[in-house]
């Protein structure tokens, strides 16, 4: 009986030993594999870290190597210049005349602070000469020539330092859209965009700037002599003050006393813009609407509050001679004089501009409502 029990224990012990050995044998390769995997993982991480360090050191060395160009992307750069280092980007310009020799830093003895623009034909040269003399050396003169005649202006000494741009039979707003981009005129505190037929006997450029700054005007014009070429009460000169910003018009003309043409309004014959206001106004000028009609009623969109920052300077005033030089640039059709077609287009452009502005407003509001 005892022998039988001992045999049974031996058999059971043997079986358990076999089973235990089996599990040990199965688990051992797995453990070894795990160790190998961990070791491989560790080595891979080490290799990556080493590789990244080498790559970083290589890139660092690359930027310092003469002749190499680093890969750059700066989304805050001006559009189209994202691949340039910010330190080399020059996004603004000016009309300063420079020499072809010497050091660039020594080119300019004086930098004009203001820009005065006239759109001219040679027939009005005497009037323009008188106008230019009302501005000091702080004012850069720019002439847009709609008749293509530029060299004849050299009879005036000031013309030799003026900027001349010529394109036949174009208006000042056509020129302004193409040559007065805000980044091009960014060097100037104020931009005058004037017609050629203005009598400036009672005007002084320096005094005008003083008053504009004093009264905080971002968009302005000189007062108009009430006996000549007057269309709106707002631009009529008042003899008892320096500046006015509001007026009374004919009954029914103004839905709000702070809206055009009773306030926040100047005409397009002789406007003066601050740098900041012009940046907005330029974007509102349409490429194909060259006469600018309707623009005067929309200027208020570019300053806030408009009824305080748009005004007329009364103590520096001008007379509009109403010379129909622009009309003579048209063509005679159907037996009608050249000016007739020009005037018809002016009225048509006014309607188109208003329609576009209304449509743009509606589209913007619709987008807001959609979220």
- In DSSP notation, 81-110 reads -TTS-GGG-----------SSS-GGGS-S-
Domain 104-330 in CATH 3.90.550.10: yes
How many angstroms separate the CA atoms of 234 and 267, rounded? 9
Bridge partners (DSSP) listed for residue 140: 115
How many angstroms separate the CA atoms of 362 and 113, rounded? 39
Is the CB of residue 156 less than 8 Å from the CB of residue 164? no
How far is residue 135 CA from its own chain's centroid? 26
How many angstroms separate the CA atoms of 165 and 151, rounded? 11
Of the candidate ranges 23-27, 108-112, 218-222, 269-273, the one whose mean pLDDT is the lowest: 23-27
Structure tokens at 278: 């012009």
- DSSP conformational letter for 369: H
> With bands split at pLDDT 50, 70 and 90, how would you rate the model's confidence at 330?
low
The label of the residue with tokens 């830093």 reads 105
pLDDT higher than 70, residue 52: no
Is the CB of residue 316 less than 8 Å from the CB of residue 156? no
How far is residue 329 CA from its own chain's centroid? 31
pLDDT for position 251:
87
pLDDT for position 39:
38
Q: What is the mean pLDDT of the chain?
A: 85
Distances (CA, A) of 92 to 174, 186, 365: 21, 6, 33
DSSP 3-state of 52: helix
pLDDT for position 334:
73
Distances (CA, A) of 208 to 221, 243, 296: 9, 10, 20
How many angstroms separate the CA atoms of 180 and 69, rounded? 34
Is the CB of residue 181 less than 8 Å from the CB of residue 279? no
Per residue in 185-212, pLDDT tens? 999 999 999 999 999 999 999 999 999 9
Per residue in 274-286, pLDDT tens? 999 999 999 999 9
pLDDT for position 219:
98
Of the candidate ranges 97-106, 224-233, 290-299, 310-319, the one whose mean pLDDT is the lowest: 224-233
pLDDT for position 205:
98
- DSSP conformational letter for 78: P
Global model pTM greater than 0.75: yes
- Give Cβ neighbours of residue 183 (< 8 Å, ≥ 6 apart): 91, 92, 93
> With bands split at pLDDT 50, 70 and 90, how would you rate the model's confidence at 55?
very low
pLDDT for position 327:
63
pLDDT higher than 90, residue 322: no
How far is residue 349 CA from its own chain's centroid? 23
List, in sequence order, the alpha helices (H) in the chain. Answer: 2-64, 125-132, 172-179, 205-214, 275-284, 295-298, 306-309, 338-370
> With bands split at pLDDT 50, 70 and 90, how would you rate the model's confidence at 332?
low
- Give Cβ neighbours of residue 330 (< 8 Å, ≥ 6 apart): 338, 339, 340, 341, 342
Other CB atoms within 10 Å distance of the CB of residue 357: 17
Other CB atoms within 10 Å distance of the CB of residue 24: 9
- Give mean pLDDT, residues 356-366: 97
> With bands split at pLDDT 50, 70 and 90, how would you rate the model's confidence at 328?
low
Sign of the alpha-carbon torsion through 199, 203, 204, 209: negative
How many angstroms separate the CA atoms of 193 and 173, rounded? 9
């Amino acid at each position: 009986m005892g022998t039988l029990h001992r045999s049974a224990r031996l058999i059971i012990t043997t079986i358990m030993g076999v089973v235990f050995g089996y599990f040990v044998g199965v688990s051992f390769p797995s453990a070894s594999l795990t160790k190998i995997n961990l070791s491989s993982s560790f080595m891979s991480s080490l290799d990556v870290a080493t590789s990244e360090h080498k790559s970083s050191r290589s890139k660092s060395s690359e930027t310092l190597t003469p002749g190499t160009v680093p890969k750059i992307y700066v989304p805050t750069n001006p559009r189209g210049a994202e691949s340039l280092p910010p330190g080399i980007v020059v996004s603004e310009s000016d009309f300063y005349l420079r020499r072809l020799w010497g050091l660039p830093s020594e080119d300019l003895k004086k930098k004009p602070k203001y820009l005065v623009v006239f759109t001219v034909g040679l027939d009005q040269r005497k009037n323009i000469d008188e106008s230019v003399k009302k501005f000091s050396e702080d004012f850069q003169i720019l002439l847009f020539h709609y008749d293509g005649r530029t060299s004849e202006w050299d009879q005036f000494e000031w013309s030799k330092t003026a900027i001349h741009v010529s394109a036949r039979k174009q208006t000042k707003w056509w020129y302004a859209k193409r040559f007065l981009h805000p980044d091009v005129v960014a060097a100037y505190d104020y931009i005058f965009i004037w017609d050629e037929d203005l009598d400036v006997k009672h005007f002084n450029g320096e005094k005008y700037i003083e008053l504009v700054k004093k009264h905080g005007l971002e968009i302005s014009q000189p007062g108009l002599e009430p006996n000549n070429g007057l269309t709106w009460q707002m631009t009529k000169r008042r003899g008892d003050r320096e500046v006015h910003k509001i007026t009374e018009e004919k009954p029914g003309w103004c839905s709000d006393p702070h809206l055009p043409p009773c306030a926040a309004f100047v005409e397009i014959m002789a406007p003066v813009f601050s740098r900041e206001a012009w940046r907005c106004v330029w974007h509102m000028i349409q490429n194909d609407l060259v006469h600018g009609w309707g623009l005067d009623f929309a200027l208020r969109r570019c300053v806030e509050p408009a009824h305080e920052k748009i005004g007329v300077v009364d103590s520096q005033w001008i007379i509009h001679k109403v010379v129909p030089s622009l009309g003579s640039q048209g063509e005679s059709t159907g037996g009608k004089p050249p000016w007739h077609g020009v005037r018809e287009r002016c009225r048509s452009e006014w309607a188109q501009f208003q329609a576009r502005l209304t449509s743009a407003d509606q589209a913007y509001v619709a987008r807001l409502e959609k979220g």
